[in-house]
Structure 1
Amino acid sequence: MMVRAAILISLLSAVPVSAQADGPLARVDGQAITNSDVEVATRLLGDIDQKDAQANQQGVIDALIELKVVARAALAEGLDNDPAFKAEMQFLRERALRALYLRKAIERNVTEETIRAAYDRQVGGLKPIPEVRLRHILVANQMDAMHIIDGVKHGQRSFETEASKSLDEVTKSNGGDLGFLTEDQIPTEFAAAIKNAKPGEVIATPVQSAFGFHVVKLEARRTRPVPTLEQATPQIRHALESAAGVEVVTSLKSRASIEILNGGPSPSAPESGTE
């Protein structure tokens, strides 16, 4: 705890003076705790509950007060010269440098232009995709299926109510809804049955599969549009950033002289995250 406290205090002390120009939120032996300190601590601690902003801020302030008190005690005992402290500080320093280097390298490689180019390659040539939304009720035999079809078609019972008796445990609780499906996702047995059906229509003939007999309803048809550049950008950016991070690390390792002295396997490229 004392080592972690001293580390966090030293990190907070590294925040530029201009960033600490905000008013004090608390003082410990005359040393101010500011909004900037709280922002840095929140980012570094990472496990603070974000639901209640005021309670969250007070929790961070309380943690900083404790950290400052314990860190001062650690410094008074000279623990900043302890080998364990220096080793941990060296690790944190290298980790921070790694994160900053990768972040800057990724920013250079992943630009609006590269995102646009990736979109044009991967998405721009796609065509709108037809989809259908289906509901079904699975029963054991054809007679039961026909009984349901007749009842639904003549308004004696609703499809959703009958679906609650379905043998399909996954969809029985949501009215038999299979959601929107593309052509290659539609069960083979259903494809021919719904080919000429209209939205809202219950197929007149039960559809047999290896699981039993299905009462099928075509709920809707639609065409899924091709994602716009704006819609696709977050996913493309994430993929490009991940690839760029791996490429940077792989390139650096290929140029470094690396010796594995314990007989273990060669180190693999680390994850590309910058934190």
Structure 2
Amino acid sequence: MFRYSKLAAVAMIAIAAAHGVASAEDEPDPVVAKVGGVEIHQSEIDLAIAGLDPQLANLPPEQKKVAALSALIDVKVLAAGASKEGLENDTTFKQRVAYLTERELHNAYFKKHVVDAVTPEEVKARYEKEISAVQPQEEVRARHILVKTEQEAKDIITALDGGKNFADLAKEKSTDAASEGGDLGYFTKGRMVPEFETAAFALEKGAYTKTPVKTQFGFHVILVEDKRTQAPPTLEQVEPQVRQLVMRDKYIALLEAAKASATVEIEDPALKKSYDEISKPQADVQGEPAAEPKNN
């Protein structure tokens, strides 16, 4: 993975997505309002809605439409005044328009060759690749009874040895009110404090600790009800994240291909050094051969 992907790829995916609203050419684009004879179309409303302040994102649709129309009317009336003063001929204005034009061309190219180019087959293949690289983790389902003293814990173990029900004892004796009958559900290693975790994962299914387990919270008696290998998330659960990975790879590959046919010259030595550093393949930084960008 390329180092600059964190600085560029993810950011540009977000930028392109935010500026990706456009009406299809064959869809109707009715006139919503007129300002001094200049028409405002529905497509402009859609663009303005996409550009509204994030604080307005949760407004009802009709309120967002009104806010967008209000913003457009403000833009139109002041833009007309700017044109009368010839501000479109200002050098700084022209530079900004040129930059914004190139940015929108970038976004259109990104949408065509990255966003719209992702196929379900690519997403499924990337999901399977990511899942196959993950080492399955063991997880246990446990109950516990937490008390203040070691003697209390020993008395509970004696009661369990005598046939008492663990959940009933937890309801009666445990100071942990957050768990119903002491039930902690399933958890993997790293979720509990070390002493508790070591004891829980050492138990067989259906067994409970024969000596109290001391932690910073007090003394525990632990019952393991089940052990299993943690199931990986389904494709449906992680599809948006996997799609982002595919888009990121496509974007990096697109940039690499474009840069290979372009000459980039940076005059400032310090700026060039910094740019070259973030543009290095990650493997190069670690002293390994650089991997070629892939579209998988």
**TM-score, L = length of structure 1:** 0.68
- % same residue: 31
Equivalent residue in structure 1 for 2:90, among 82, 85, 107 = 82
Matched residue, 2:188? 182
Separation in 2 of the partners of 1:177 and 1:109? 47
Matched, 1:162 2:169: no
Relative distance call for 1:69 and 1:109 in structure 2 (3 A) is: closer
Q: Unpaired runs of 5+ in structure 2?
A: 1-18, 281-296
Matched, 1:215 2:245: no
Matched residue, 2:266? 260
Matched residue, 2:62? 54
Specify which structure has the bigger relative contact order, considering alpha-carbon pairs within 8 angstroms and separated by 6 or more residues. 2
- 1:134 and 1:217 in contact (8 A); partners too: yes
Residue identity matched to 2:206? A
The alignment's C-alpha RMSD in Å is: 4.0
Relative distance call for 1:215 and 1:28 in structure 2 (3 A) is: farther
- 2:199 and 2:209 in contact (8 A); partners too: no
Matched residue, 1:192? 202
Number of equivalences: 245
Q: Unpaired runs of 5+ in structure 1?
A: 1-10, 165-172, 271-275
Residue identity matched to 1:188? T
* Cα offset, 1:61, TM superposition: 1.2
Separation in 2 of the partners of 1:91 and 1:114? 33
Q: Secondary structure at the match of 1:27?
A: strand
* Cα offset, 1:158, TM superposition: 1.6
Matched, 1:249 2:255: yes
* Cα offset, 1:92, TM superposition: 0.8
**TM-score, L = length of structure 2:** 0.64
Equivalent residue in structure 2 for 1:36, among 26, 43, 59 = 43
Matched residue, 1:94? 102
Separation in 2 of the partners of 1:208 and 1:192? 15
Residue identity matched to 1:117? A
Q: Secondary structure at the match of 2:263?
A: coil
